Amino acid sequence: MTRDTRSPTIIWFRDDLRLADNPALLAAVDAGGPVIPVFINETGPDSLRGLGGAARWWLHGSLDALDGSLRALGSRLVMARGDALPVLRALANATGADEIVWNRRYHPDAREVDARIKSSFEADGRKVTSFNGALLVEPWEVSTGEGSFYRVYSPFARSARQALGAVRTRPAPTGRIPSPAQWPDSLSLADLKLRPTTPDWAGGLRETWTPGETAAGETLRNFIDERLSRYKTKRDFAAVDATSRLSPHLRFGEISPRAVWTALSRVAEDASGAAERQAAEKFLSELLWREFSYHLLYHLPPLEQANVQDKFDAFPWRQSDDRRAAWETGATGYPIVDAGMRQLWQTGWMHNRIRMVVASFLTKDLLVDWRDGEAWFWDTLVDADAANNPASWQWVSGSGADAAPYFRVFNPVLQGKKFDPDGAFVRAYVPELAALPEKYLHEPWTAPADVLEEAGVRLGETYPEPIVDHAAARKRALEAYQKIKEQAA
């Protein structure tokens, strides 16, 4: 048999850990020569933001699944660690690869890294080709009438829908993926040291999640079949299983947004009733919110570092390690806040409505800088995303491009009563309050002494007193905002 003498193509996997609808991988296969899939656990340059602990746990499972899928097609995933440029150059030199393909990234620092690698490879006479594997519409494909980027979601969403056209997906490669005559050296997955060991805090994550492309597809199908019908009306209720649970799968590219959009659009088109059609359309609008976050990420300075509205540079944030620690550990004395923070720690995920509540509490009740909250979420969320995470924190804090009005300060008691009306969410994650009557569950400090005693609750001992008075904190936050508003005028 004649050996294939065509030069290999390197496919560099990053946040696109799937085979189906992966344009970079499909281009590498279409080239006809040997394909070398590689993943690099990037440790440089220093400007790149390292993954948080929960995301690293997810990444381990996702890489394991991807490697298994590649091996089923006669290929494998080459794994490395370090600065991507010298790693890729050494790999290309060792294999004779004359082309590298990847799907694009949009964070300013990641784009700078990719531009440096592309320039270096092209100077070596090698070809570099990049693709859109992460978005429905890339940030430069939509613009305002004045030619600038969008700062408000609604007109962005309208423009993005117009730019979309017919959304097409491509299936995973079939048959064997051409392999090189000799595989280059590779680290093992264990060598990347992504999972926690001492202590192993990931038990709740293992019980809650299954990373990987197969699980992503199953999650989408289950959402459409079992939960979509109640998505529009019940998605804000913390204890109701009405959300998609797709966010970590999208974050790691185990499923493409095109595949999700196509599936939900088909439901909207084929729906026999208005309720199902409206639920599908609502979910599509949430996908466009993800697109909007990436639109902002591309066009603005790093979202996790800089206020979009520079008047917030003068905001009088308060440094309070004790109060921030109470928030992080779910010990604020506000049950809905504490339940959300404990859900985050146990499962690596938090219900979206509760994310808004806890973010408002940190930034407005406690006046702690939104960047501290964003950093905590970055470390503890399995779906910690370079665009969604900081964009959403800036939205809640009021400093973002399309921000919630600053006077919108979530009342944690009212939010609890409205979106956890029977207390099921609080009882699940704050079990020390489980025996309290529903009437007092979201504000236990109002319960009579005999009710607290019968429920086994001792405020300040078994459950904390509120660390701040919400009414006074709201007033203080609004006064602080008014001050920076006047200074900026």
List active site positions: 286, 289, 317, 352, 370, 393
- The β-bridge relationship of strands 9-13 and 99-103 is parallel
From CA 276, how far away is CA 105, in angstroms rounded?
34
Of 486, 360, 351, 481, the C-alpha closest to 419 is 351
Sorted by sequence, the CB contacts under 8 Å of residue 310 that are 6+ apart come out as: none
Sorted by sequence, the CB contacts under 8 Å of residue 118 that are 6+ apart come out as: 128, 130
Cα 374 to chain centroid, rounded: 11
Q: What is the 3-state secondary structure (H, E, C) of the chain?
A: CCCCCCCCEEEEECCCCCCCCCHHHHHHHHCCCCEEEEEEEEEECCCCCCCCHHHHHHHHHHHHHHHHHHHHCCCCCEEEEEEHHHHHHHHHHHHCCCEEEEECCCCHHHHHHHHHHHHHHHHCCCEEEEECCCCCCCHHHCCCCCCCCCCCHHHHHHHHHHHHCCCCCCCCCCCCCCCCCCCCCCCCCHHHCCCCCCCCCCHHHHHHCCCCHHHHHHHHHHHHHHHHHHHHHHCCCCCCCCCCCCHHHHHCCCCCHHHHHHHHHHHHHHCCCHHHHHHHHHHHHHHHHHHHHHHHHHHCCCCCCCCCCHHHHHCCCCCCHHHHHHHHHCCCCCHHHHHHHHHHHHHCCCCHHHHHHHHHHHHHHCCCCHHHHHHHHHHHCCCCCCCHHHHHHHHHHCCCCCCCCCCCCCCHHHHHHHHCCCCHHHHHHCHHHCCCCHHHHCCHHHCCHHHHHHHCCCECCCECCCCCCHHHHHHHHHHHHHHHHHHHC
Of the CA atoms within 13 Å of residue 482, those in its CB half-sphere come to 7
